[in-house]
Amino acid sequence: MTGRIPLLVGGADDVRTQMILVAAHAAEVDVKTEAPKSAAAPELQFSDKKITYTGAILRFFGRFHESSEVYGSSFYESAEVDSWLDWALMELAEPPVRLEQAAQTLEKHLEQRVFLVGQRLTLADIAASLPLQRFQQQGLVQLGRATKRWLGTCLATEAACSVLSSAPPKGKAAAAATAAPSVAPVAAVAGATPMSSTPLLDRYSSCVGGRTEIKRIMLADGDGKSMVGQKVSVCGWVKTAREVVIDSGAKGFDSLKGKCSTGASMKCTGEVVASPGGKQAVEILVKDAGSEVVLFGGVDAKEYPLAKKGHSHEYLRSIAHLRPRSNLIGSVARVRAALAQATHEFFRSNNFLYVHTPLITAADCEGAGEMFQVTTMMAEAEKDGKPLPMANGKFDYTKDFFQKPAFLTVSGQLSVENYCCSLSKVYTFGPTFRAENSHTSRHLAEFWMIEPELAFADIVDDMNCAEDYLKYCVRYAMEHNRQDLEFFDDKIEKGLVKRLENLLAEPFARVTYTEAIDILLKESPTAKFQVPVEWGMDLGSEHERHLAEKVFKKPTIVYNYPKDIKAFYMRLNEDNKTVAAMDVLAPAIGEVIGGSQREERLDVLDRRITEMGLEPKDYWWYRDLRRFGSVPHSGFGLGFERLIMLTTGVENIRDVIPYPRYPGHAEF
């Protein structure tokens, strides 16, 4: 949700305008106001869009700031609010032909309640109380005891007081005003309400006397121009001094001398003015009375690692504690957070339960290959200054914390399968580790994985879910992080937005491994692959990218792989040669998702475990799922950093995670 500040065009004494202003205040939304050119209904404008009809505008504010709960605090409350809102708009806002009946309905409903819906003021109360007060003042209706108490409560709320205190005088005069055409400018209201003079302050900034977040200003109506003329206090770190223009006579100016370069932190109180040029449309002018600048922390430009412009990605990695102040890493951080949010929203909206699988594991079936070991024994040995005793080439783990060798997990899949086979649809989202001695731009020792697992689902359901999820995430970023994606399109990957639009445009291609091999064999003479193609091989990056980029020119799902190149838990197909595994390959990225239907038949599972040279008894609990109420189920895994690379175009995985871990690097 952006901080655009909408413009309300409405008459100041129009009860609908007042309802909207009260709702905006209750929802903690800033609005600017403007008198209408004619006696039209209120209209809300933002960016290039407009919202008409009082109900739509009220609902807009109800959703703007969800935690304000003016649209109810739950799904069902929202539905109740909607009913009462429509009731009020129909029965009360229009000429009151059945006012007495409406009053009876209200009195009956309010006998046992403080507000119309739930425990606090909602849009329903706002829409009903304001017109009702007018009718009462005009002597058009007699209200019951419960309704009077409710009306008093509604009108005493901070939101109502702040708007109505500057509205036309109550009583007969108000009735007269109502009768007059609704053309009086709303500016009189606007000037007196906190809404238009003080844009929403951050809730937890009493420390600095309150502040308005800069993005709220810069994004207002898309470019901030609608904020011109408003007085604001902003806090932040200087990137360039361009956005804020400080007059040498401004209060606090002298404290800045020699300290106000890039990286300095300060608070500026001043007026938003149109920018005479440059990239942004507005600046803050710290000049006139009431303007002020407060320096929190200065910077010695000679020492500041980010003082100069245009640092290499490598250099930024060496100052991981400061690099989020760079445009690149700041944008990555925002997209990363948005994709995490999209992940939870997608799975929750599809009724998946979020499960935290363990990081440390001492399960007998986990091997030590490419796993990090977790121990307290080495520190103990160093404390005692004695080497670790070894017998028959093995350490004695009875004194280790977990009394056996323990490792950091390489996947939550087996653990989450237990929850899947109890609660049907589940997913994990957590860190995963790989002690691979890899220095490539595509591997990390510590990364985040998302692993959904679906009961009663086969490989087709699995592919459907993977495609839906990937598209949901990309669409989410396109909608919530457009500015960041345009930055990446400009600086990192030309054509990024177009590539993402293509990803969303049509269904992914789907092809079996065997079909894929046939295609690659045909293309081999011209494609000239480094590794020759043959059935049974694992597809290399060159093959995967050829399929997605050259053959299908869109994300491509390859499924039904040879059993010998896949894990023991993947379900054996009828052909006895392939397993129900699938990989999602994306153009420019390669594999982003790998998944499979799991082998649910105990006898087949045992045979596969043995074939792979493993011991069925080490998998006793995994086998239990097949002994007791086994069900068909499927799942997949997605490396979260791969998803961010796909969405941003950033090519080095070390730049899409706050603190990358790879051989020799775990500082900060």
Q: Interaction with a copy of itself in 200-259: which residues (CB under 8 A)?
A: 202-208, 211, 213, 235-238
Q: What angle do CA 585, 588, 591 make, to 5 degrees?
A: 25
Binding characters for a copy of itself, 410-429, by CB under 8 A (x = yes): -----x--xx-xxxxx----
Among 39, 242, 456, 495, binds a copy of itself (CB under 8 A): 456
Among 146, 92, 150, smallest CA distance to 122 is for: 150
Q: Are strands 578-586 and 590-597 parallel, antiparallel or unpaired?
A: antiparallel
Our CB check for a copy of itself shows the closer of 412 and 587 to be 412
Among 34, 223, 292, 461, binds a copy of itself (CB under 8 A): 461
- The distance of closest approach from Cβ of residue 58 to a copy of itself in the complex, given in angstroms and rounded to an integer, is 9
Our CB check for a copy of itself shows the closer of 164 and 444 to be 444
**Nearest-10 crossing angle of helices 99-110, 123-137:** 130
Q: Determine if 630 is a binding residue for a copy of itself (CB under 8 A).
A: yes
User: Cα dihedral sign for 213, 660, 497, 325?
Assistant: positive
Our CB check for a copy of itself shows the closer of 341 and 512 to be 341
3-state secondary structure at position 425: strand
Our CB check for a copy of itself shows the closer of 291 and 428 to be 428
Our CB check for a copy of itself shows the closer of 100 and 396 to be 396
Q: Interaction with a copy of itself in 344-403: which residues (CB under 8 A)?
A: 344-346, 348-351, 353-364, 368, 371-379, 381-382, 385-390, 393-395, 401-403
Options 12-20, 245-253, 585-593, 651-659: segment touching a copy of itself (CB under 8 A): 651-659
3-state secondary structure at position 454: strand
| Interacting residues of 482 by C-beta distance below 8 A, sequence separation 6+ | none
- The distance of closest approach from Cβ of residue 339 to a copy of itself in the complex, given in angstroms and rounded to an integer, is 10
DSSP alpha helix (H) spans, 65-122: 75-91, 99-110
What tokens does 28 get?
């903690």
C-alpha 429/C-alpha 432 separation (Å) is 9
Among 435, 527, 537, 551, binds a copy of itself (CB under 8 A): 435
- The distance of closest approach from Cβ of residue 544 to a copy of itself in the complex, given in angstroms and rounded to an integer, is 25
User: Cα dihedral sign for 291, 297, 303, 305?
Assistant: negative
Q: Determine if 34 is a binding residue for a copy of itself (CB under 8 A).
A: no
C-alpha 142/C-alpha 138 separation (Å) is 10
Our CB check for a copy of itself shows the closer of 506 and 534 to be 506
3-state secondary structure at position 145: helix
Options 18-26, 133-141, 446-454, 581-589: segment touching a copy of itself (CB under 8 A): 446-454
Among 10, 7, 30, 32, smallest CA distance to 19 is for: 10
- Please give the size of the binding site for a copy of itself, defined by CB under 8 A: 169
Task: Check if the beta carbon of residue 547 is closer than 8 Å to that of residue 534.
Answer: no
How far lies 31's CA from each of 25, 89, 215, in Å? 9, 22, 16
Q: Determine if 454 is a binding residue for a copy of itself (CB under 8 A).
A: yes
What tokens does 364 get?
């007998």
What tokens does 600 get?
């649910």
> 542, exposed or middle or buried, with CB in 10 Å at 0-12, 13-18, 19+?
middle
User: Cα dihedral sign for 337, 324, 447, 648?
Assistant: positive
C-alpha 454/C-alpha 465 separation (Å) is 9
Phi, psi (deg, nearest 5) at residue 188 = -60, -45
- The distance of closest approach from Cβ of residue 200 to a copy of itself in the complex, given in angstroms and rounded to an integer, is 10
Q: Interaction with a copy of itself in 75-114: which residues (CB under 8 A)?
A: 75-76, 78-80, 82-83, 85-87, 90
Q: Interaction with a copy of itself in 133-162: which residues (CB under 8 A)?
A: none
Q: Determine if 537 is a binding residue for a copy of itself (CB under 8 A).
A: no
Among 625, 645, 646, 650, binds a copy of itself (CB under 8 A): 625
Our CB check for a copy of itself shows the closer of 27 and 164 to be 27
C-alpha 570/C-alpha 581 separation (Å) is 6
Our CB check for a copy of itself shows the closer of 375 and 517 to be 375
Q: Interaction with a copy of itself in 295-324: which residues (CB under 8 A)?
A: 296-300, 303-306, 320-322, 324
Q: Determine if 179 is a binding residue for a copy of itself (CB under 8 A).
A: no
What tokens does 487 get?
């930055």
Our CB check for a copy of itself shows the closer of 429 and 519 to be 429
Our CB check for a copy of itself shows the closer of 585 and 625 to be 625
Among 334, 442, 510, 607, binds a copy of itself (CB under 8 A): 334
Binding characters for a copy of itself, 251-270, by CB under 8 A (x = yes): ------------xxx-x---
Our CB check for a copy of itself shows the closer of 251 and 665 to be 665
